[in-house]
Structure 1
Amino acid sequence: MNRQSQAAVLFLLGAALLHAGTTDLYLRYVKAGLRPMLLASGAVLIVAALATALYERRRGRRAGAQPSAAHAHPEPRVAWLLLLPLLALIMVAPPALGSYSALRSGTALQKPYAYGRLPAADPAPLSVVDYASRAAYDHGRSLHGRPVRVTGFLALDGSGAPYLVRMALNCCAADAQPVKIALTGALPPVLRPDAWLEVTGTYTPRLARDPVNNGPVPYLLVTSAKPVPVPPDPYDETWNN
């Protein structure tokens, strides 16, 4: 792989990063807050590629004007393997982590420093993390008498017990961990793992323990549930706030 080829690979990689950063594709890899850094990285790679190509073009002109006895050694062919991650980024968009990963990892629920006011809407829209932390650590004080609406994907344990889950991440998909809510009440007759549901319900003091790490898994008493499309950002970033 000569310098011109290296510049082409850099340019394609930068373009792929810009494409991912200007669409929702990047949300499959990193959290939303890293979007500016991703765009900046793509721009830097493109500038570096153009600078390399321009430098090599000028050097080639100078070399053509002067005789040279130096013998050019070809670059190792293994360098072309650098194209593999580029092709994977361009051609394959990995699915968001789902029920398989959720059931094999313990809940990442952590006690927050404080609880904000519930949204004024009725039912109150809450994230899986927000409802779970209020139910498990605040004993539902802010939830009493308020219907809530929570969205997540379904996971069914070995006994068929349903959980509403959202994978929470700190930086990127590689460190994603599940936060789980156990469901009881008016559930759909057919439950399909990894299906996304918008669940409306009320707080119940019932609390279970995650069999993987003994972490708290609060229950939600479901009054209605309906299937929804996978959201543009399938991850939850609020677990460590």
Structure 2
Amino acid sequence: MNRQAQAVVLLLFGGAILKASFTDLYLRYVKEGLRPFLIAAGVALVATAIATLWYERRPDHDHSHHEPRVGWLLILPVLGLLLVAPPALGSFTAGQSGTLPVSGSDYAALPAGDPAPIGLLDYASRALFDEGRSLTGRRVQLTGFVTAGPGGAPMLARIVVGCCAADGRPIKVGLTGGPLIDVPAGTWIQVTGTHSAKRGEDPVNQADIAYLEVAQWQPVTPPKQQYE
């Protein structure tokens, strides 16, 4: 692979990053707040590629040098971004990984409204470390995808990421009571309910699992930002 070919690969790679950044596709890889950094990286790659092509095309430049052919492997992530659109991490990841251990903190008041919409990580933390005190007397609304729990019982889950999908870990909430949830794993649902004192243990990593007393549920369209 010569430098002109390398520049073309960089150009395609930068273009693929920009394409993902200007659509919702990037949300399958990183958190929403990282979009400006992706755009900057894509612009830098495109600018580098253009500068390299200009330099290599100068008439007084020696074009005889070649780089190792392994450099062509760089085309693989480019093709992945341009031709394949993998889904966000979901029920398979949740089934293979243990629930994220949660820690206690000072809990702000729940959002106004009935039910109060909160994240799964927030609910699990309040249920496990605050013993549900900050949830007393309130109905909450959780949104996530269905995953199989101990014994095949449906649980609600969502992937929590620090910066990108590579460090994603599931947070799982058990479901008890209420109408039967009979949808396939991976289906996104919205569940309304109240705090349950029941606790479970994730068989993957033996971490505690909080439970929600289900009042009602309904299938929903997956949100634009599927990670917490």
Give the TM-score, by structure 2 length.
Answer: 0.93
Residue matched to 2:87 = 95
Q: Distance in 2 between matches of 1:154 and 1:216?
A: 18
Deviations 1:138-196 (A, max 9, x none): 11111111111100000123522111001111121111111111001223452311100
Residue matched to 1:26 = 26
Shift of 1:71: 9.3
Answer whether contact 1:106 1:212 (CA < 8 A) is retained: yes
Deviations 1:18-58 (A, max 9, x none): 11111111111112222221111101101111111111222
SS of 1:119's equivalent in the other structure is coil
Deviations 1:71-126 (A, max 9, x none): 93555444323211211111112112222221222111321432122101211001
Matches within 5 A, 1:205-216: 205-216=197-208
Answer whether contact 1:196 1:229 (CA < 8 A) is retained: yes
Answer whether contact 2:102 2:124 (CA < 8 A) is retained: no
For the pair shown, which has the larger CA radius of gyration, 1 or 2?
Answer: 1
Answer whether contact 1:188 1:225 (CA < 8 A) is retained: no
1:120 pairs with 2:73: no
- Please tell me the residue identity of whatever aligns with 1:124: A
- How much is the aligned-residue C-alpha RMSD, in angstroms? 1.8
Q: Distance in 2 between matches of 1:75 and 1:144?
A: 65
Q: Distance in 2 between matches of 1:46 and 1:235?
A: 29
Residue matched to 2:148 = 156
Q: 1:92 to 1:100 in 2, by over 3 A?
A: same
Residue matched to 1:36 = 36
Matches within 5 A, 1:49-68: 49-58=49-58, 61-62=59-60
SS of 2:85's equivalent in the other structure is coil
Unaligned runs of 5+ in 1: 64-69, 237-241
Residue matched to 1:16 = 16
1:131 pairs with 2:129: no
Q: Distance in 2 between matches of 1:167 and 1:229?
A: 16
Answer whether contact 1:109 1:129 (CA < 8 A) is retained: no
Residue matched to 1:221 = 213
- Please tell me the residue identity of whatever aligns with 1:117: A
Q: 1:85 to 1:189 in 2, by over 3 A?
A: closer
Residue matched to 2:160 = 168
Number of aligned positions between the proteins: 228
Residue matched to 1:196 = 188
Give the TM-score, by structure 1 length.
Answer: 0.88
Q: 1:154 to 1:189 in 2, by over 3 A?
A: closer
SS of 1:235's equivalent in the other structure is coil
Q: 1:157 to 1:189 in 2, by over 3 A?
A: closer
Deviations 1:188-216 (A, max 9, x none): 45231110000001111111121222211
- Please tell me the residue identity of whatever aligns with 1:13: F
- Please tell me the residue identity of whatever aligns with 2:190: E
